Amino acid sequence: MSTVDLPLLPLGRGTDPLSERGVDCPGDLPEPSDPDLVARARAAKEALGEKLFVLGHHYQRDEVIQFADVTGDSFKLARDAAARPEAEYIVFCGVHFMAESADILTSADQQVVLPDLAAGCSMADMADHQQVVECWDALTDAGIADVTVPITYMNSSAAIKAFTGAHGGAVCTSSNAERALRWAFGQGQKVLFLPDQHLGRNTAVLQLGLSLDDCVVWNPHRPNGGLTVEQLRDAKMILWRGHCSVHGRFTAENVADVRARIPGVSVLVHPECRHEVVTAADLVGSTEFIIKTLDAAPAGSSWAIGTELNLVRRLADRHPDKQVVFLEKTVCYCSTMNRIDLPHLVHSLESLVRGDVVNRIVVDETVAANARLALDRMLALP
Ligand code: 13P
Ligand code: SF4
């Protein structure tokens, strides 16, 4: 059975450049063409032994993921990072907010490294701390801050997680957003959901049974979020106007097209997709859920997957007995996830072998203390 119906697009393009942090990697990066890169990564890992723990998010390139000690979605990786106290060095092959969370959840004598500091997340960049403080002030003026619980998606800066923790809220990921929202509605009457409007709306409407009219969108670039005081008071879900530049590109037409092209296809998408896409799909879930669903699917079944391309290509390779296609032919990789490549990984590992910790992620302890409250509330969810 044909397994690949995937666009072959240049690496490192396709999402917006908001996360380009302009941070140069210290020292000389190995040349990507160096034929010894795999052997060098292997040797460095071996030299570091138990001191090293390498985590790899499912969106990482094949050349990187082969060196991960564990792979996972952002929830699993946060839990795994916290469960490895004996590792002196945690090398996080993922994006900035994931490495920050690992630093917050690990002890002070463990050091977290992000192989390329420019690996940010454009969605996380859509909510900055000052904007969130201004939003909260507006909720206070409207008399609703006391009954509002902030929930922030893992894809947010440590400062936003700290704000959330300090205001009685919790972090969530795509695999526990429903539980986090149910918990939040047990604590208060309204939720301020940061920064992904789509995950917030999809979870509230499709899993909690709220209506679209219960949701309003706070636009941080408009006075009072572009909302009236009445709209804020009437809403149950106040959604931050953020989105993922990769998942935001999938459309309901993509779903209709693939159904027309492949009779009997099942459409499986990530909850960062727009509401109309998730509604038109057959199944929705985190990257870990997507992988498990494909693993359990019968031979001969057909799947159209709406998530990042590295993962979809890997799924197609792993399931030659199933037809696995990408939901949209022109959508590209997550450019920031893709910044972690083999030269950066080798550079990080070899530097650690020399005792030189490059590209370390350190969260300020005051910020970390409040962010840990929000992360621990997530980890304690039933
Ligand atoms: P997961 O938690 O599903 O791995 O998603 C993380 C992410 O960044 C998706 O864009
Ligand atoms: Fe951020 Fe989207 Fe990339 Fe995930 S896929 S890291 S949400 S830009």
Mean pLDDT of the region 256-277: 98
Tell me: pLDDT of 9 over 50. Answer: no
What pLDDT sits at residue 18?
Answer: 34
Tell me: pLDDT of 86 over 60. Answer: yes
**Terminal CA-CA length for the chain:** 41
DSSP letter assigned to residue 152: E
Q: What is the pTM of this model?
A: 0.92
Residues with CB under 6 A from ligand 1: 58, 73-75, 155, 173-174, 244, 272, 286-287
Mean pLDDT of the region 224-237: 98
Ligand 2 centroid–CA 17 distance in Å is 12
What pLDDT sits at residue 17?
Answer: 35
Rounded CA gap, 125 and 245, in Å?
11
Sequence-ordered list of residues with C-beta below 8 angstroms from that of 101, at least 6 positions apart, any chain: 74, 78, 81, 154, 158, 161, 171, 371, 375
DSSP letter assigned to residue 37: H
What pLDDT sits at residue 20?
Answer: 40
What pLDDT sits at residue 382?
Answer: 85
Rounded CA gap, 54 and 112, in Å?
10
Give exposure, 160-169, as e/b (b: 16+ Cβ within 10 Å): bbbbbbebbb
pLDDT (tens digit per residue) in 236-259: 999 999 999 999 999 999 999 999
What pLDDT sits at residue 273?
Answer: 98
The atom number, within ligand 2, closest to the CA of 124 reads 1
pLDDT (tens digit per residue) in 68-84: 999 999 889 988 999 99
Q: Which ligand is in closest contact with the Cα of 336?
A: 2
Ligand 1 centroid–CA 44 distance in Å is 28
pLDDT (tens digit per residue) in 307-328: 999 999 999 999 999 999 999 9
Ligand 2 centroid–CA 144 distance in Å is 31
The atom number, within ligand 1, closest to the CA of 244 reads 10
What pLDDT sits at residue 75?
Answer: 87
Rounded CA gap, 204 and 182, in Å?
9
Mean pLDDT of the region 55-68: 97
Tell me: pLDDT of 6 over 70. Answer: no
What pLDDT sits at residue 355?
Answer: 95
Alpha helix positions (H), the chain: 37-48, 62-65, 74-82, 96-105, 129-141, 158-166, 177-187, 197-202, 229-234, 252-261, 275-280, 287-296, 309-318, 342-353, 365-379
Rounded CA gap, 105 and 100, in Å?
9
What pLDDT sits at residue 15?
Answer: 35
